[in-house]
Structure 1
Amino acid sequence: MNTQARDAKSLGSLCPGPELLPELMRQPLGGTPLQVRSGGTSSRCAADQHWTLDLRRHQQFRYLSATQEVEFGTGLSMADLLRQLQAFNRAIPIGLSGLPGSGFVLTGGMGPLSRTQGLAIDHITQIEGVWGSGAPFTLDVEQARHDPTLAAECRGLLGAAPFLAVVTKLRLRTHPIVKLRLRRGWINPSELPAVIALAEQWPESCSLQWTWGERLEIYAVDCSPLSAPSAGLHALDPFLNAGSGGQVEQVHDQLDLPAFGQFGMETPRTASAPSNNLLHSEVLGRLGPAFADQAASVIEQLQRQMRQRPHPACRISAQQLGGATARIDPSFTAFVHRDAQWKPWITAAWTPGDLEGRLRSLAWMEGVSDDLRTCCPGVHLAQLHDHLPNHQQELRDAFGSWLPELQHLKANVDPDAKLPPL
């Protein structure tokens, strides 16, 4: 469980099954908005003086061979889901860790395969759950698009569900498991603009991720067919052949990818970094188009921020989007930034109990976010920050001109604000 959530002085956990959940949501509960736990990786799956709604009783799994879809309860982690799909040689695209639950899917869901397979929300075909009002629903995504009211509800659930409803079951399209190739290693920050420029010319089968802490690690994944591999990973030779990086690794599937940000350490991918187990943190993700000729100036700004980071575990990371993520009409889902080619994210970390350290790290996170806003004007709300001062600005950056419609939808489906505010 997320360390900050684990240490919270919550009112306790509520674990209703499908029959009791609607009735529970109709009750005049104190300690709202409710915090929802699926995988338990979010800093807001528990909070001081709030109830946590624990979804771990919702762990059903069914593979529909006729349509090659998977139906599953939102109490499963992404690793749990992929392991069960392996029996059918199928998968869905997940992120850089198997630990998150369905919150990963419902807030967008991006990872190394997004450029070829799209966002996780783009695979959803049916959603089942309970609105904040307590009214149960089952929405078929394709059918909903033919009815204006259902289309608005469906759009809200595909990317902004945590504000509107408790989703208990999802149905997603699946893909055949694809073998992957990985290349990772450390580079000098001065080399990052050139690596970014290189990645922006790659085919969609390749994606670049990087993370900048004590050192700067790049993590490039290629999912092109083994019979016709892309040359993208070998183009990294000038940066990784001086002893700071490894050769191309063959990986059976997503769950076998090594842990991101831990090059040089033998750590299973689904484990958290040991050094982070004792820390509290918040994460803020931004979204923007290709860096192009801005890369050098952006990285120079970030380098100044890295020299001033208030805690050794504060870091800046990014992952590459585009390709399939850009081919969906922005009006279909709550993920409106379909032109995004990059998602940089900022991790603010501090020692538990260090209140001044927390404020310094959060101020640093906002400073980095301000530096990135010009080139990355969007926000990806993978973690909710309704407890932080800039929540409203993040909402505006995340949903843009569609935010008033989303707020209107929330007023209808969650009139008593049982779930996080908009």
Structure 2
Amino acid sequence: MKKNKNLLEVPNINSSDAQLKKIIYKVEDNIFNRFFNSFSKSEYLCVCSGGTTSSCARDNFITLDLRKEYDHIHLEKEKNLIKIGGGVIMKDLMNFLGSQNKIFPTGLSKLPGAGYLLTGGISPLSRRYGLAIDNIETIKGYLGNGTFISLEKNNLSSDQKLLWEGFKGAAPFLAIITEIGLKTFQAHPIQIIEGFINDNELSKIINLAEGFPENLSLQWIYAQDIYIYILAEIRNDLDKEITKKYLNKLENFSSLKIKTYENYNQINFFPKELDLFELNKNNHSEVISLLGEDLKERIQIFIKCMKEIIRSKPNNSCYVASQQLGGKTKEIDPKSSFFIHRKSTWKPWIYASWKKDDLKEKEIVLNWMNESWEKLKIFFPKIHLAQIHNHLNSHEEEVYLSFEERLSELKTLKNICDPESILPPL
């Protein structure tokens, strides 16, 4: 048996360093009574699916690690449906789909698990295929009250409808999800236009991107320098023609290079040369994700704001990055899930990192994160709750800005599904 502090080896260093009370690997009938009868009101079960979040483990809390017992992957070819366990990480999903010439709109990182899928799931392919939650067909798991649930999108009873919507965007507050059925898509070639640019070029490219067709999307990261990815899926001759048109508009950006891949599963975003520190074992970190609509005539003001944020960052491990939504993500009914901000075009996130034993630097870095968030609210006033921050002072505001008019419904669901608050609190 390893020492307690090393029981959970996960990508998020905060969680990996947590002094766990206990780690369990399977949801059994007696789990809800056996471990939680003696819980204080401040305790709850941490759930680890991929381990990329700081909320999958905490000091003196129990963690349920799904990766060992819930790692199955099964493709139903005739239905274009893949069923995966709640502990399957996106890398393994992508590798399996690649062997079948299939894809799913996964994110920029291959490390997350089912949390990516259940909290929204924003992908460079989302403009064409929707969010991850838009492609969920079945869900199995256990409510916080211990009740086993099995839901099918096309076979919901009237009293299951709200629960289904709640699972799509807010599942971590309501249930332990042990299996998800996902719609899959045929793989097609991908072109990536990538490279370092300056802030003036970023301004021009954002302006161009806000007119992109649905087969193109922009991703950028602003650390010491700015790096961008423009992804283009080439599904047919029309896609090829449209992509060529936009490539011609990018010819003046001499630093950008074009790479072609057989399919989406082969791409590794954000190369090691960017030195982004996510896997630096000496660092702890927090991430907050925002949502907002087109920047339009405010692009120059936004770029000026970004320059100020980057100039004031406390160390080289901190950065701001962004993904592009739109296309199909704006067409889907906002009432179909608890991801309600369907008008959003941009999802920027602020990555704040510090030396893990330096409490003074931690305070400075988190202040920088919150100050940066305040500055960006004018452009991106909503929140994508991909990370649960109930250990931070910002949690209540983040929850409200994520769910807004549906928050009262979510609280009602929470009271029904998890009356003892065994799962993370709202």
Report the TM-score, using the length of structure 1 for normalisation: 0.92
| Cross-structure match for 1:377 | 381
Q: Does 1:66 align with 2:70?
A: no
Q: Which runs of 4+ in 1 moved over 6 A?
A: none
1:194 is matched with which residue: 194, 204, 208? 204
| Cross-structure match for 1:303 | 307
Letter paired with 1:83: N
The 1:252/1:154 distance shift into structure 2, 3 A limit, reads same
| Cross-structure match for 1:237 | 251
User: Offset at 1:32?
Assistant: 2.5
The 1:389/1:82 distance shift into structure 2, 3 A limit, reads same
User: Offset at 1:61?
Assistant: 1.8
Which segments of 5 or more consecutive residues in structure 1 lack a partner in the other structure? 266-271
CA distance in 1, matches of 2:222, 2:280: 15
User: Offset at 1:300?
Assistant: 0.6
| Cross-structure match for 1:179 | 189
Task: Write the deviation string for residues 344-398 of structure 1: whole angstroms up to 9, x where unpaired.
Answer: 1100110111111111111111111111112211100111100000101001110
User: Offset at 1:226?
Assistant: 5.8
Q: Over the residues paired in the alignment, what is the CA RMSD in angstroms?
A: 1.9
Aligned 8 A contact 2:88 2:113 in 1: yes
Task: Write the deviation string for residues 295-333 of structure 1: whole angstroms up to 9, x where unpaired.
Answer: 110111121111010111110000100001111111110
Match runs of 1:307-386 below 5 Å? 307-386=311-390
User: Offset at 1:88?
Assistant: 2.5
The 1:306/1:205 distance shift into structure 2, 3 A limit, reads same
Aligned 8 A contact 2:48 2:63 in 1: yes
| Cross-structure match for 2:224 | 214
Aligned length: 410
Aligned 8 A contact 2:103 2:265 in 1: no
> SS in structure 1 opposite 2:154?
helix
| Cross-structure match for 1:113 | 125
The 1:42/1:22 distance shift into structure 2, 3 A limit, reads same
CA distance in 2, matches of 1:384, 1:93: 22
CA distance in 2, matches of 1:215, 1:321: 23
User: Offset at 1:82?
Assistant: 1.9
| Cross-structure match for 2:53 | 42
Task: Write the deviation string for residues 205-231 of structure 1: whole angstroms up to 9, x where unpaired.
Answer: 000000011111011100033644213
CA distance in 2, matches of 1:350, 1:88: 41
| Cross-structure match for 2:87 | 75
1:33 is matched with which residue: 24, 41, 44? 44
> SS in structure 1 opposite 2:79?
coil
Q: Does 1:104 align with 2:108?
A: no
User: Offset at 1:233?
Assistant: 3.7
CA distance in 2, matches of 1:27, 1:88: 46
| Cross-structure match for 2:104 | 92
Aligned 8 A contact 1:217 1:263 in 2: no
Q: Does 1:156 align with 2:166?
A: yes
CA distance in 1, matches of 2:251, 2:281: 34
CA distance in 2, matches of 1:25, 1:250: 51
| Cross-structure match for 2:391 | 387
The 1:104/1:275 distance shift into structure 2, 3 A limit, reads closer
Identical-pair percentage: 35
> SS in structure 2 opposite 1:115?
helix
Task: Write the deviation string for residues 242-294 of structure 1: whole angstroms up to 9, x where unpaired.
Answer: xx332x100122232133264678xxxxxx85773431110001001111111
> SS in structure 1 opposite 2:26?
coil
CA distance in 2, matches of 1:151, 1:89: 33
CA distance in 2, matches of 1:323, 1:274: 30
| Cross-structure match for 2:3 | none
Q: Choose 163-172 or 275-284, whichever is displaced more.
A: 275-284
The 1:407/1:12 distance shift into structure 2, 3 A limit, reads same
The 1:346/1:264 distance shift into structure 2, 3 A limit, reads closer
CA distance in 2, matches of 1:59, 1:261: 27
> SS in structure 2 opposite 1:208?
strand
Which segments of 5 or more consecutive residues in structure 2 lack a partner in the other structure? 1-9
User: Offset at 1:83?
Assistant: 1.6
Aligned 8 A contact 1:213 1:312 in 2: yes
Q: Choose 227-236 or 378-387, whichever is displaced more.
A: 227-236
Aligned 8 A contact 2:277 2:317 in 1: no
Letter paired with 2:327: G
The 1:203/1:25 distance shift into structure 2, 3 A limit, reads farther
Aligned 8 A contact 2:13 2:279 in 1: no
